[in-house]
Amino acid sequence: AQTVTQSQPEMSVQEAETVTLSCTYDTSESDYYLFWYKQPPSRQMILVIRQEAYKQQNATENRFSVNFQKAAKSFSLKISDSQLGDAAMYFCAYRSGSRGAQKLVFGQGTRLTINP
């Protein structure tokens, strides 16, 4: 079974600085998808960024980018120019690329604090 590990329960960063959240996963599959979701205090689960395993290029969404290392099974999230609104729990998630596979496997989350 696939597992997702986020080794940093909490992180903090100064406003306008850059922070990197770590995620590793375990799978024997070659085709899969990886996601980062953000959960602010309002409790919503918001998709931040997505990466297809077959793509070598790292995904980027404005201030959010990933460092996808397939061989190392690592999928870190970099937040540049941190803003107060970035404060939230961040969850890394895995989904198999097998036809019909839909189950998301989540890590335990990293709580990110932004210091003004």
48, 64 in Cβ contact below 8 A?
yes
Q: How far is the CB of 12 from another protein (least distance, A)?
A: 20
DSSP state at residue 86: G
Quote the CA–CA distance of 105 and 73 in Å, as a whole number.
15
Quote the CA–CA distance of 84 and 9 in Å, as a whole number.
19
CB closer to another protein, 9 vs 85: 9
Give the x/- contact pattern for another protein in 12-51, rule: CB under 8 A. Answer: ---------------------x-x-x----xxxxxx--x-
Provide the binding-site residues for another protein, judged by CB under 8 A: 33, 35, 37, 42-47, 50, 91, 95, 97, 102-104, 106-109
